A and B are shown apart, each in its own frame.
Chain A
Amino acid sequence: MDLYSEIILDYFKNPVNKGEIDKPTGTASEYNPLCGDKIRVDILLDKKGKVVEAKFSGEGCAISQAATSMLTEKLIGKTPAQIKKISNEEIYKMLNIPISPGRVKCALLGLVTAKKAAISANTKTKTPDTKKSLKNPTCHFLQIKKSRQRGTTR
């Protein structure tokens, strides 16, 4: 199987969701000092706390660029908690190319960044919501989220 499959090359040459969001709910940047790759992921949440828009920017190899671009599509409709649960295997499956040990970092750079962006969105949305979360005890809130996530991933 070829590393540079048509799909990968297509995402690299014509990246989907490349750019930045004006006022993102969550944003994060990651740097891979080994390759010099820099990636930023922005996400915008709706009132329900689900991603309505996801964008990425920065530079990197074809694998990291394509992987991040594909990932941004996957983020739509997910909550930050769900983003944090995306596994590495899901990324490998999404890419559908043989990832050698040397390219693992390239493949996962976008995911690492997206998870950080999700964390930053979480902390942002929680602070103005202090009153609400007082009404809904944290454990209850989390439980709802967990069950909801199970529903969507299946």
Chain B
Amino acid sequence: MKNIPKITNRKLLVFNPKILKKDFPIFSRKINGKTLVYLDNASTSQKPKSVIDALTNYYKTFNANTHRGIHTMSEEATLAYEKTREHVAKFINAPLSKEIIFTRNTTEAINLVAYSWGETNIHKDDEIIISAIEHHSNLVPWQELCRRKKAKLKIIPIKNDLTLNMEAYEKMLSRETKLVSITGMSNVLGFMPDLQKIIKLAHKNKALVLVDAAQSAAHIKTDVKKLDCDFLAFSSHKLLGPTGVGALYGKFQLLSNMPPFMFGGDMVKAVQQDKAFWNDLPWKFEAGTPNIADVIAFNAALTYLEKVGLKNIQKHDEKLLKYAVKKFSKYEKDGVRLILPTYKSMDFSRSSDSKSHSFTRNSSSPTFDPSATSSILSFSIKGIHPHDVAQIFNDEGVAIRSGYHCSQPLIEYLNLSATARMSFYFYNTKEDIDRAEKALQKTLKLFK
């Protein structure tokens, strides 16, 4: 069937971000007369031509509903849709493709667990553990579930070096702990918690673990078998794929025992006037016509990503972050504060004293642990609001994010009103960071 993208696992001969960048049509665009430097990848990634083509190809050549018809196009669409599921399973090393449920995004995947699993398994005085570095989407659903069930939400604090306090986590675990829901990579700090350890400890206490892989899936190899996590959620749009597609992985036994989250067409096997029989996994959780086009194009994204190789991405991430830290730390004397876990010249606490902006340099060059943090550099500038920073960067054609990054409690914990954030991906280059540095210089000149 020619319409279905072939899954090829051919690796690149050489990894060259400048060549890869050419696969992304968006980079021919100019912003304020300057070539676009896109450093907002933690919000969403750009899309290669192959993904855009897969999307239009579906609409142009085999647009039909899935699982419903026996005509050729419906069969083709169904097959292509299910091929993506198989690919997702392979991508995260899930034992079975029926353990993959398509949602709209990470947020919906987490809500699915909170409603379906949470409603039946969380009771009064049970405890759910999350961390202080979670995105709102891995915080609010649990706040709400705990409110509904009169359960307790416990939050793993962060230490002064902006890493998670694992000792506190160990102490938090108890017989009451029913679930630990934790990010694979913070979208503000780039910090990657020790998932393996967190999951082992949780399982010892008979608690389940959900991993929010929205950020991490795009940067490091996800292996649910090795992690032994119970649930894992991520979004297509952060890893080259279209918006409107998320994936939830859940262990087969767990998903089988969970009630549907939404009701209607497709999720039923047989319907009588007064009752219905649920469909098998994974369709039990996919009510209504799914996002066929975007799911199909997501397959092309995974293919592209595998061609680039997560190992290459990881190496490149590290190189770029080191380079960015070297460049931006030069401006600490001008009030620039790098918000980076394990960063050496950083020392600030929750208090609002003047110390929070003073720097005591221990070594001559800035250091941080690249195994703990990846691809994200948040910063603030004393006396300059992040919105103004982002605006000047935009004038220079450099797209960065400013604000709370959907992590308001964390930003407030850091004693900031907001931050500016650069987030990198494999198509970014050192030249991109040089352009960001130029924008930083302009910002400092303008406002100081």
CA distance A10 to B416 in the complex (A): 24
Q: Which residues of A contact B392 (CB under 8 A)?
A: 4
Interface string of A1-21 (1 = CB under 8 A from B): 001100001001100000000
Is the beta-carbon distance between A35 and B391 smaller than 8 angstroms? no
Q: Tell whether A36 pairs with B391 under 8 Å between CB atoms, given A9-B447, A59-B417, A62-B447.
A: no
Is the beta-carbon distance between A35 and B418 smaller than 8 angstroms? yes
B290 in contact (CB, < 8 A): no
Is the beta-carbon distance between B447 and A12 smaller than 8 angstroms? yes
Can you name 21 A-B pairs with beta carbons within 8 Å?
A3-B395, A4-B391, A12-B447, A13-B447, A33-B404, A33-B408, A35-B418, A36-B416, A36-B417, A36-B418, A37-B417, A60-B385, A61-B385, A61-B386, A61-B387, A61-B388, A62-B388, A62-B447, A63-B388, A103-B387, A106-B387
The interface size bin for chain A is 10 to 19
Q: Which residues of A contact B446 (CB under 8 A)?
A: 4, 9
Interface string of B401-412 (1 = CB under 8 A from A): 001100010010
Main secondary structure of the interface of A (DSSP, over half): mixed
Q: For chain A residues 107-123, which have a beta carbon within 8 Å of chain B?
A: none
CA distance A34 to B387 in the complex (A): 10
A38 in contact (CB, < 8 A): yes
Q: For chain B residues 168-219, which have a beta carbon within 8 Å of chain A?
A: none
B404 to A, closest residue via Cβ: A36
Residue in contact with B403 in the complex, picked from A3, A4, A34, A38, CB distance below 8 Å: A34
Other A-B pairs, 9, CB within 8 Å; known A33-B408, A35-B386: A4-B446, A35-B385, A36-B403, A37-B385, A37-B417, A59-B385, A62-B388, A62-B447, A63-B387
CA distance A35 to B417 in the complex (A): 7
Q: Which residues of B contact A60 (CB under 8 A)?
A: 385
Interface string of B201-240 (1 = CB under 8 A from A): 0000000000000000000000000000000000000000
B448 to A, closest residue via Cβ: A13
Q: For chain B residues 10-68, which have a beta carbon within 8 Å of chain A?
A: none
Q: For chain A residues 53-110, which have a beta carbon within 8 Å of chain B?
A: 59-63, 103, 106
A38 to B, closest residue via Cβ: B417
Q: Tell whether A36 pairs with B411 under 8 Å between CB atoms, given A4-B446, A59-B417, A62-B447.
A: yes
CA distance A81 to B384 in the complex (A): 34
A59 to B, closest residue via Cβ: B417
Tally B residues with Cβ within 8 Å of A.
17
CA distance A35 to B389 in the complex (A): 12
Q: Which residues of A contact B411 (CB under 8 A)?
A: 36
Q: Which residues of A contact B416 (CB under 8 A)?
A: 36
Q: Which residues of A contact B384 (CB under 8 A)?
A: 62
CA distance A37 to B418 in the complex (A): 9
Q: Which residues of B contact A59 (CB under 8 A)?
A: 385, 417
Q: Which residues of B contact A35 (CB under 8 A)?
A: 385-387, 403, 417-418
Q: How close is A98's CB to chain B, nearest CB, in angstroms? A: 11
Q: Which residues of A contact B388 (CB under 8 A)?
A: 4, 61-63
CA distance A36 to B404 in the complex (A): 8
Interface string of B377-405 (1 = CB under 8 A from A): 00000001111100110010000000110
Q: Which residues of A contact B391 (CB under 8 A)?
A: 3-4, 103
Q: For chain B residues 119-171, which have a beta carbon within 8 Å of chain A?
A: none
CA distance A13 to B446 in the complex (A): 10
CA distance A20 to B386 in the complex (A): 25
Q: How close is A18's CB to chain B, nearest CB, in angstroms? A: 13
CA distance A62 to B404 in the complex (A): 18
Q: Which residues of A contact B395 (CB under 8 A)?
A: 3
Q: How close is A15's CB to chain B, nearest CB, in angstroms? A: 12
Q: How close is A115's CB to chain B, nearest CB, in angstroms? A: 23
B418 to A, closest residue via Cβ: A36
Q: Which residues of A contact B386 (CB under 8 A)?
A: 35, 61
CA distance A62 to B384 in the complex (A): 8
Q: How close is A142's CB to chain B, nearest CB, in angstroms? A: 40
CA distance A13 to B395 in the complex (A): 20
Interface-centre pick from B386, B387, B411 (highest chain A CB count, 10 A): B387
Q: Which residues of A contact B417 (CB under 8 A)?
A: 35-38, 59
Q: For chain B residues 61-82, which have a beta carbon within 8 Å of chain A?
A: none
CA distance A106 to B446 in the complex (A): 19
Q: Which residues of B contact A34 (CB under 8 A)?
A: 403-404
CA distance A34 to B417 in the complex (A): 10
Q: How close is A65's CB to chain B, nearest CB, in angstroms? A: 8
B385 to A, closest residue via Cβ: A61
B417 to A, closest residue via Cβ: A36
CA distance A33 to B417 in the complex (A): 9
Q: How close is B261's CB to chain A, nearest CB, in angstroms? A: 29
Q: Which residues of B contact A33 (CB under 8 A)?
A: 404, 408
